[in-house]
Amino acid sequence: MGVVVASKLPLHGYMDTPAFLVETTILYKVAYLWAAVFFHRQKYYLGWFLSEAGCIASGLAFSGVQRGSNSQIQSLQWDRVRNANYIAIETAMSFPTITNNWNILTNNWLKNCEPSALLAL
C-alpha cells in the first residue's frame, strides 16, 4: 500500500510549482515532505523484505541455532540476509540509529573494513 501512496505524493514536479512554494503554509510543506519521503521509503522496504523472504525460503538465510543453558535448541536463527529493521528506522530518535538499521549488512561490512582497503577500491 505504501508503494501505491508514494506514487500519489510525488517528490519532483509538484514541489517546484508556485502552488506549492508560494500558496501553501510551512506546516503543509513539512507535512507533505514528511509523508512523501515516508511513503517513498516503502518501495525499498518492499524489495528488501521480498528478497529476504526468498532467501529464507531457499535456506540461504540460515545462520545457526540458539541453544539454552541445558544445550537444548531454543530457536533457529534466520537472519543472515537481514537488510533493514523497519521499526528501528521509523521510530529512530537519532541519525546513527537510522544508519545502523538501514542496509544492515553493508553497514556491518564497512564497520569491519580497513580504511586503506576502501581507498584501494
Residue 121 confidence (pLDDT): 62
The three-class DSSP label of residue 67 is strand
Query: Which helix (H) or strand (E) is 52 found in, with range?
Result: helix 26-58
Q: Decide if pLDDT at 118 tops 90.
A: no
Q: Decide if pLDDT at 27 tops 90.
A: yes
Residue 93 confidence (pLDDT): 93
26: confidence class by pLDDT, cuts 50, 70, 90: very high
Domain assignment of residue 55, given as a range: 2-120
Number of domains in the chain: 1
Considering only residues 28 and 12, tell me which one the structure prediction assigns the higher pLDDT. 28
